[in-house]
């Protein structure tokens, strides 16, 4: 078992079969997942951007007891065991979150990236899985050449899950 201060998780949402928004995203991306969020080492701070029209990158506190874990799949990533490197990773992650905090959802970029072989991106807008991919690379929890961000224009939650599952800890929930 890992110390909770040495790992982060990514939660992939597969629940809420009634919501037209989540159903549309799963259908459109051909994925079992419609959303993803980053869970910080404290296990209660979830960071991400949801696919609702008024959404922006934000932190939320979620008590483990309040979460229906049947609606989520998780991937766990260990931070470095070396204290200076772990502190660097967390510092970079916090800087990325701070820099992108309040950024809006990138509906146009998400749709056009899925329709073309190119990444269509507005600098200050994100969609959930794209934001998490950049957060993981910027914090050096996942290396750039392992994630292939520019080779994957359609970084849907399902594609992110498939890409990261081979890099995650083997003791995922």
Average pLDDT over the chain, rounded to an integer: 83
| Structural domain that includes position 150 | 4-165
Q: Is pLDDT at 33 greater than 90 in this prediction? A: yes
**Chain center to CA of 64:** 18
In a domain, 116, yes or no: yes
87 domain residue, yes or no = yes
The model's pLDDT over 66-113, given as tens digits with 9 standing for 90+, comes to 888 889 999 999 999 899 999 999 999 999 999 998 888 777 777 777
Burial 49-84 (b: 16+ CB within 10 A, else e): bbbeeebebeeeeeeeeeeeeeebbebbbebeeeee
Q: Tokens for 3?
A: 């110390």
Average of per-residue pLDDT across 145-151? 71
pLDDT of residue 2: 44
Separation between Cα atoms, residue 133 and residue 120, nearest integer Å: 15
Give the pLDDT score at 88: 94
Number of domains the chain contains:
1
Residues 6+ apart with CB under 8 A from 15: 22, 68, 70, 71, 72
Among 64, 70, 66, smallest CA distance to 39 is for 64
pLDDT of 3 strictly over 80 = no
Indicate whether 170 belongs to any domain. Answer: no
**153 falls within a domain:** yes
CATH number at residue 22: 3.90.1720
Which residue carries 């916090």 as its tokens?
Answer: 94
pTM of the full predicted structure?
A: 0.85
pLDDT at 172: 37
CB-based contact 25:97 (threshold 8 Å): no
Residue 133 lies in a domain: yes
**Listed ranges 19-23, 47-51, 155-159; the one with the highest mean pLDDT:** 155-159
In a domain, 173, yes or no: no
Q: Is residue 161 part of a domain?
A: yes
pLDDT recorded at residue 171: 44
Q: Do the beta carbons of residue 38 and residue 13 sit within 8 Å?
A: no
Q: Confirm whether 58 is domain-assigned.
A: yes
- pLDDT, residue 150, reads 66
């Amino acid at each position: 078992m890992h110390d909770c201060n040495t790992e982060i998780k990514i939660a992939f949402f597969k629940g809420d079969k009634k919501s037209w928004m989540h159903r549309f995203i799963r259908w459109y991306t051909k994925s079992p997942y419609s959303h993803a969020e980053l869970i910080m080492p404290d296990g209660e701070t979830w960071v991400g951007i949801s696919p609702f029209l008024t959404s922006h990158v934000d932190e939320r506190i979620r008590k483990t007891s309040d979460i229906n874990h049947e609606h989520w799949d998780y991937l766990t990533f260990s931070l470095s065991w070396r204290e200076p490197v772990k502190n660097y990773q967390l510092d970079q992650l916090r800087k990325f979150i701070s820099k992108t905090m309040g950024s809006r959802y990138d509906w146009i970029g998400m749709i056009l990236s899925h329709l073309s072989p190119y990444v269509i991106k507005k600098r200050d807008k994100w969609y959930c899985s794209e934001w998490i991919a950049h957060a993981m690379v910027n914090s050096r929890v996942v290396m750039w050449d392992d994630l292939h961000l520019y080779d994957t224009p359609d970084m849907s939650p399902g594609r992110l899950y498939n890409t990261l599952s081979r890099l995650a800890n083997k003791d995922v929930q």
